[in-house]
Structure 1
Amino acid sequence: MPRPRVVLRPTDAETPPALEQALRDRFSAVRAELGIDGPYPTDALAEAEREAARPPRDGYPDETDVPYVTLDPPGSMDLDQALHIERDGDGHRVRYAIADVPAFVPAGGDLDRATRERGQTVYCPDLRVPLHPPVLSEDAASLLPDEVRPAFVWDLRLDGEGVLTRAEVRRALVRSRRRLDYAGVQADVDAGTADELLLLLREVGQRRIARERARGGASLPMPEQQVLENDDGTFTLEFRPPLAAEEWNAQLSLLTGMAAAAMMLDGGVGVLRTMPAPTADAVARFRRAARGLGVEWPEGQPYGELVRGLDRTDPRHLALIHEATSLFRGAGYTAFDGAPPDEREHAAVAAPYAHVTAPLRRLVDRFGLVVCEALSRGAEVPPAVRASLPDLAALMSASDRTARAAERSCADATEAAVLHGREGERFPAVVVDHLEKGMEVQLVDLPVLAKASGDRGALGSTVSVRLESADVAAGRIAFAHDR
């Protein structure tokens, strides 16, 4: 199957300015419906501006001589992480600097209250609803190049097999030298022009991927649908193919999160990101689906290994990928203070795991970092942080629901804009799921995932569906199976 990409241009005859405005109006309506359309609270914004004007320096060791780099999507300003890797015998020393957001957010203040209400940054195609005011998230607390910033420095030692042998975290001043993006890094590595740091990133990433496979970790290769606003004001709807460089960088985040979880469990206090293992019935259903789609699943092979090898460009595999979502359910947050919780693993990671690498964009990370830094130096976790842990699971679960709803609703509206005016047309599509009434299909020539009424085609089969309606204002499209 192709990897479709559609650009909506307001000057095209097919996309008049009125339709473009209708799409923007829908994005705005989605935020209003979710209650995230208000401005940042004035008192919290004032506090953020005061904190940004006096960035912390006293008591921080100076580690600005380490040549960190950041790796993010192009144009990103909220830079949470910076990395540096060097050889250490036949292994590696990884230093992963994370923005010291807690230093800018006084406990119990107006900014603290505002971030608890928001939970995380919500990304919409036309704008972002930030967890922190931009004066912090895109400036004073962000690890921007050539700026001295306070950070939590994770100092991680790996052996020749990529196994973590030692982990420490400390506060220090750091300075990033370069701001890199995934496509540029991938192009340099593929062309053989990458510098030593990027080659080490690939080496560490590949070793950690091998460790993940050995643990039985699972990564679902679900097609990622995204809506982006371009520099010229147009919007792009696409299924974005992942880059290997993204996975290498993600492995550093996973490595740090696993180190954080181990510290928390050893110290008897923290908050874990957890997900239960799939039930035996769910695995059995998935095995039946694989058999029905003609996908070979050798006896004894873990489901994660099978899922990792699925090819989203193969219609049968694509259908099985959608079926596999039933194995990745129930993710949440588990706080504890004292005895370790009964549920402590993240099934997809196949290990205990904690969120600590995105404090500019996610509330829980701010608290996890302070917990780990205190435990790493053998100190008491600050009482205010300890007292906040029980509330974090509910706060994050609520913000997760909001973020998912915003993303899905904005994508639905963009799909409707792509299809507006094409009612009555027929489109080839792959059946990816069976529903109580009808089926879910992925269009072959457009990056659209939709429901279709009528008779259900076989999973993985290519069918013809007819567009019955495309309503941008409501963010809804309707297809029918065209037999």
Structure 2
Amino acid sequence: MAVIPDFTAVRAEFGLPDGFPPAVLAEAAAAAAVRPVAGPDRLDATDVELVTIDPPGSKDLDQALGVVRSGAGFRVYYAIADLGAVVMPGAALDTEVRRRGQTVYLPDGAVPLHPPVLSEDAASLLPDGPRAAVLWRIDLDGEGEPVSVDVRRAVVRSRARLDYASVQAAVEAGEIHPAIAALPEVGALRRALAVRRGAIELELPEQEVVRAADTGGTTDGGWTVQVRRRTPVEDWNAEISLLTGISAARIMLDAGIGVLRTLPAAEPDSVTALRAVARGLGIDWPTGATAAELLSGLPRDTPAALALRRAATSLLRGAGYTAFDTAAGAPPPADAGHAGIGGPYAHVTAPLRRLVDRFGTELCLALTAGTAVPDWLRAALPGLPETMAASDAVANAVTRACVDRTEAALLVDRVGSDFDAVVLRAATDNGAGEVYVLDPPVIARCAGVRRPGETARVRLEEADPVTGRIAFNAGR
């Protein structure tokens, strides 16, 4: 009989809310009953070809995109769910979502930021009729650089709800949907530009908890952990989101007011230390190449590459949100960039799932229209970084707890067994190192490992499904 990880206990441990207050549900239902209408303040863009690309089964669809050739360059349309049209500042729903901060995802169901009547229905960009959206139109030159940006409220209509695997198959068969005919080309151009900007992409193994039946397993309805393989389509799609966030950050910085997602540039000592790790792993770091260029050229899954990518996490420390309002005496930070992206960046593309995106979107709408920033929005900006930091901490801890407890449940009957593992981080005199066990795909503490990048035989010493604690030992 399989040991089933207790996600209910995770919900209780982190105090995740169960449902919404009646006043919030009533407000959401009333907002959901209002259908979007084009007019002086909302463009009729239902003629624009758009599709959504999300994991299979997703209903909270924040974005619909269109990427096509335009003259010598490209035109990107990015429609974002218009939460500003349904969440009234200061009302019950607004108060509740400010308390939550973001959607928290667990394997057995999400704890949503907004009531499902909005997030999975009326406000989601489902392909079943006209939907309210904030439509970004970004024109690019032939190299993929923006030459003009327009953002306004609109009524849009998605043509299809697609998933990454089906779009990837269509690309390989030469049958890509016409709405995204230029996505492969633009995605590749934007990724190349990101590397030239110095964007750090770690591409470490991304673990996810799935039902065992989904992977062909037979564990009595239990759960397992697998490594999620990103398709090129997913990478290209992410580049469109990043392009929009970069454009939003530029709008905010030019106006002297906004809220950015920030990550300090790596300290020179950190880069020097990473060079030393590369040498120790036998990885050639070409003269003049940046860390971004080196990492982008590495394979994703060789032992040495995995160890170097793990070491490169030292370059990406201190992520957060930074609000600024020059008119109120709070200018932008001296380092307004995001090291993982290679420049300034703002969150505006996922308002169904993340609180700050609604505020960033409303700000961009006002600034590009030349209208005054609403008082409620200006007053909210200073508190957003703290709110988002708190919700990020909870969401990340919940994800880690679910993965850890599932890993421990898979391994509990194998305590004392030996496994092959890649050493990601060497143990020190004061603490354990870290290994990546390939089957099942587990990242865990391990005592006695000394050489990052080598393959070691390690013994499982502990696996506790209640706490999620797992420990290996190579120094037997």
Give the TM-score normalised by structure 2. Answer: 0.94
Given candidates 327, 330, 349, the residue that maps to 2:318 is 330
Deviation of 1:56 after TM superposition, in Å, equals: 4.3
Which aligned runs of 4 or more in structure 1 are off by greater than 4 angstroms? 230-234
Question: Counterpart amino acid of 1:256?
Answer: T
Question: Counterpart amino acid of 2:465?
Answer: V
Given candidates 348, 370, 391, the residue that maps to 2:340 is 348
8 A Cα contact 1:55 1:104, kept in partner: no
Q: Aligned equivalents of 2:134 and 2:73: distance in 1? A: 23
8 A Cα contact 1:432 1:459, kept in partner: yes
Q: Which residue of 1 aligns with 2:469?
A: 476
Q: Aligned equivalents of 1:311 and 1:329: distance in 2? A: 23
1:174 aligns to 2:156 (yes or no): yes
Map 1:3-152 onto structure 2 (within 5 A).
Answer: 13=1, 15=2, 19-20=3-4, 23=5, 26-57=6-37, 59=39, 60-152=42-134
Q: Aligned equivalents of 1:286 and 1:398: distance in 2? A: 30
Q: Aligned equivalents of 2:104 and 2:185: distance in 1? A: 33
Q: Which residue of 2 aligns with 1:221?
A: 203
Q: Aligned equivalents of 1:190 and 1:368: distance in 2? A: 36
Q: Which residue of 1 aligns with 2:141?
A: 159
Q: Which residue of 1 aligns with 2:289?
A: 301
Q: Aligned equivalents of 1:101 and 1:66: distance in 2? A: 20
Deviation of 1:234 after TM superposition, in Å, equals: 4.3
Describe the SS at the equivalent of 1:345.
Answer: coil
CA RMSD after TM alignment:
1.5
Q: Which residue of 1 aligns with 2:395?
A: 403
8 A Cα contact 1:221 1:310, kept in partner: no
Deviation of 1:219 after TM superposition, in Å, equals: 1.2
Deviation of 1:220 after TM superposition, in Å, equals: 1.2
1:463 aligns to 2:456 (yes or no): yes
Q: Which residue of 1 aligns with 2:432?
A: 438
Given candidates 313, 318, 323, the residue that maps to 2:301 is 313
8 A Cα contact 2:68 2:180, kept in partner: no
8 A Cα contact 1:205 1:251, kept in partner: yes
- Cα distance change on mapping 1:204 and 1:27 into 2, 3 Å: same
Deviation of 1:230 after TM superposition, in Å, equals: 6.6
* Higher alpha-carbon deviation: 363-372 or 197-206: 197-206
8 A Cα contact 2:66 2:180, kept in partner: no
Q: Aligned equivalents of 2:166 and 2:182: distance in 1? A: 16
8 A Cα contact 1:275 1:347, kept in partner: yes
Q: Which residue of 1 aligns with 2:236?
A: 248
Q: Which residue of 2 aligns with 1:288?
A: 276
8 A Cα contact 1:261 1:352, kept in partner: yes
Question: Counterpart amino acid of 1:452?
Answer: C
Q: Specify every segment of 5 or more residues in structure 1 that has no aligned partner in the other structure, as ranges.
A: 1-12
Describe the SS at the equivalent of 2:96.
Answer: helix
Q: Aligned equivalents of 1:64 and 1:195: distance in 2? A: 17
8 A Cα contact 1:185 1:198, kept in partner: no
Q: Aligned equivalents of 2:182 and 2:20: distance in 1? A: 41
Deviations 1:84-127 (A, max 9, x none): 12221110111100000111111001111111111111111111
- Cα distance change on mapping 1:147 and 1:317 into 2, 3 Å: same
Deviation of 1:58 after TM superposition, in Å, equals: 6.1
Question: Counterpart amino acid of 1:68?
Answer: L
Deviation of 1:259 after TM superposition, in Å, equals: 0.6
Deviations 1:287-337 (A, max 9, x none): 111111111101210111111222232101111111011101111111111
Deviation of 1:423 after TM superposition, in Å, equals: 1.4
Give the TM-score normalised by structure 1. Answer: 0.93
Q: Aligned equivalents of 1:230 and 1:183: distance in 2? A: 20
Given candidates 413, 419, 431, the residue that maps to 1:427 is 419
1:377 aligns to 2:369 (yes or no): yes
Deviation of 1:482 after TM superposition, in Å, equals: 5.0
Map 1:192-203 onto structure 2 (within 5 A).
Answer: 192-203=174-185
Q: Which residue of 2 aligns with 1:279?
A: 267
Q: Aligned equivalents of 2:130 and 2:381: distance in 1? A: 30
Map 1:196-211 onto structure 2 (within 5 A).
Answer: 196-211=178-193
* Higher alpha-carbon deviation: 34-43 or 369-378: 34-43
Q: Which residue of 2 aligns with 1:237?
A: 225
Task: Provide the identity percentage.
Answer: 53
Q: Aligned equivalents of 2:393 and 2:298: distance in 1? A: 28
Q: Specify every segment of 5 or more residues in structure 2 that has no aligned partner in the other structure, as ranges.
A: 215-220
Given candidates 441, 444, 466, the residue that maps to 1:447 is 441
Q: Aligned equivalents of 1:231 and 1:81: distance in 2? A: 30
